[in-house]
Copies of this chain bind each other. A is one copy, B any other.
Amino acid sequence: MTDLSELGEFGLISRLASKVGIGRSVVKGIGDDCAVLDGDKYYTLITTDMLVSGDHFNRKWHTPEQIGKKSMVVNVSDIASMGGYPVWALVSMALPDDVDLEYIDSLFEGMIEISKKYDFYIIGGDTTHGDLLVINVVIIGEVEKENLCLRSDAKVGDMIAVTGDLGKSWAGLELLRSDKKGYTEFHLEPTCRLEEGRKLAPYVNAMIDVSDGLASEVLHICEESGVGAEIYEEKVPISKQTKEAGDTLDKDPLFWALSGGEDFELLFTFSKDDWKKIEKINPIVVGKIIKEGKYLLNGERKELKGGYDHFKI
């Protein structure tokens, strides 16, 4: 018996990816935030994320509306990270016995609110029974061919930046787990950066969304682009509220930023020459793409280690 925690989530994905072939019109298969299919003027983007009760939300803390919203936002974020926009969604739900119609209505209201906010439509899905509340969302989007952003296009010398504060979702989760008051709003109702993604897309080289912590996303970009990176510890943006949560819980908010995940900010790399074009979205520069090695700099040069892994926590 080989325990999954030895291999980890990303090891498992690589292992499965190595077993499948590449279909026709597939520009990018397993290994980015979305699968990318060729088209005439546009690429089609397809992403899917499964949210499981107890792992991705907690019915004690999250309202059904918040669960519905989150199930959509995590997928919109994947579309945003490719530079695209969502067009259609499909929703599968496994519903346990203790979920009533009013609960499902609220869940669905949350989903519809996000679909209206980002201008896409729910066109199908599946409803079934299950002993655990599970929601799987598929979003199909589009991106102009010239705007497609992959993990694999980072260039040596690129700046690395993010769109906003990190560690905020994990801070909220830890507060909720400890039954302490503080900044839990973002964890309960995360937002994503679709608008910023669209503005960035024409100018950035590589892009990814921060769903498993800054460190994990930087390592993904390094691996897919065949480059290295250095991250400046003091530049990692952590809000006052997240720092306060760290004080409350006697934990290091930097760890949450590097390894916590679910912040749904965009992380992207770009040439210094394009700074003028992207500065209007207020990017926060956190590091630089280098030839090889992955480092965290804070006076000394530490090895940058991976982030959140569903099978290792």
Q: Say yes or no: B26 contacts A121, CB within 8 Å.
A: yes
Q: Interface SS of chain A: helix, strand, loop or mixed? A: mixed
Q: Say yes or no: A50 contacts B1, CB within 8 Å.
A: no
Q: Say yes or no: A129 contacts B55, CB within 8 Å.
A: yes
Closest B residue by C-beta to A128: B310
Q: Say yes or no: B131 contacts A54, CB within 8 Å.
A: yes
Residues of B within 8 A of A131 (CB): 52, 54-55, 132
Rounded to whole Å, the gap between the CB of A93 and the closest CB of chain B is 7
With an 8 A cutoff between CB atoms, is A144 at the interface?
no
Q: Say yes or no: A127 contacts B23, CB within 8 Å.
A: no
With an 8 A cutoff between CB atoms, is A214 at the interface?
no
Q: Say yes or no: A30 contacts B123, CB within 8 Å.
A: yes
With an 8 A cutoff between CB atoms, is A250 at the interface?
no
Q: Say yes or no: A134 contacts B87, CB within 8 Å.
A: no
With an 8 A cutoff between CB atoms, is A34 at the interface?
yes
With an 8 A cutoff between CB atoms, is A186 at the interface?
no
Which residues of chain A (1-35) have a CB below 8 Å from chain B? 1-4, 6-7, 9, 12-13, 15-16, 19-24, 26, 29-30, 34-35
Rounded to whole Å, the gap between the CB of A92 and the closest CB of chain B is 4
A76–B157 CA distance with the chains assembled, in angstroms: 47
- A126 with B87, Cβ < 8 A, contacts A3-B100, A102-B2 known: no
With an 8 A cutoff between CB atoms, is A281 at the interface?
no
Most chain B CB inside 10 Å of its own CB: which residue of A4, A29, A99: A4
Residues of B within 8 A of A3 (CB): 100-101
- A34 with B4, Cβ < 8 A, contacts A48-B90, A49-B92, A130-B132 known: no
Q: Say yes or no: A50 contacts B128, CB within 8 Å.
A: yes
Query: Among B35, B55, B90, B140, which residue has its beta carbon within 8 angstroms of that of A123?
Result: B35
The interface size bin for chain A is 35 or more
Residues of B within 8 A of A203 (CB): none
Most chain B CB inside 10 Å of its own CB: which residue of A7, A93, A138: A138
Residues of B within 8 A of A37 (CB): 88, 123
Rounded to whole Å, the gap between the CB of A218 and the closest CB of chain B is 21
Residues of B within 8 A of A140 (CB): 46
Q: Say yes or no: B123 contacts A26, CB within 8 Å.
A: yes
- A16 with B121, Cβ < 8 A, contacts A55-B128, A128-B50, A130-B132 known: no
Residues of B within 8 A of A92 (CB): 48-50, 136
With an 8 A cutoff between CB atoms, is A175 at the interface?
no
With an 8 A cutoff between CB atoms, is A290 at the interface?
no
Which residues of chain A (246-300) have a CB below 8 Å from chain B? none
Rounded to whole Å, the gap between the CB of A146 and the closest CB of chain B is 21
Residues of B within 8 A of A4 (CB): 95, 99-101, 104
Task: Name the 7 nearest CB pairs between A and B, nearest first.
Answer: A23-B121, A52-B130, A35-B124, A2-B101, A136-B136, A50-B92, A29-B123
Instruction: Apart from A126-B136, A127-B310, list 8 A-B contacts with CB within 8 A.
Output: A15-B105, A16-B104, A16-B125, A20-B112, A20-B121, A30-B124, A37-B88, A49-B92
